[in-house]
Amino acid sequence: MVQAKKNTSKASKKGKKAPRTALTEQKKDEAFLADYQKLCNKYKRGLQASPAWRFSQDGNDFRLVINLSVQRWPEEQATALNGKPG
């Protein structure tokens, strides 16, 4: 007869729960987005992604490339997001 092995990890001995990494990662993502939005509002700029097809000589095929650039906000958009003129 095989007996079930008890969980003898340190967390179970002390009555603590194992950390939830998914939840902390989600909080990190939310904090990053909030900081990024503050940075965009401060400088009135943001990142713009533009997809483009490029021909590859190596594979003799087309590949999707994402070009990132800094986009200046129009004055109306900056005013609407900040709530005050430029």
How confident is the prediction for the chain on average, in pLDDT?
Answer: 80
CA distances from 3 to 20, 25, 43, 65, 69 (A): 29, 37, 64, 56, 61
Q: Is the pTM of this model over 0.75?
A: no
pLDDT interval class at 12 (50, 70, 90):
low
Over residues 38-78, the pLDDT tens digits come to 999 999 999 999 999 999 888 889 999 999 999 998 887 66
7 or 24: which leads in pLDDT: 24
| Percent of the chain at pLDDT exceeding 90 | 50
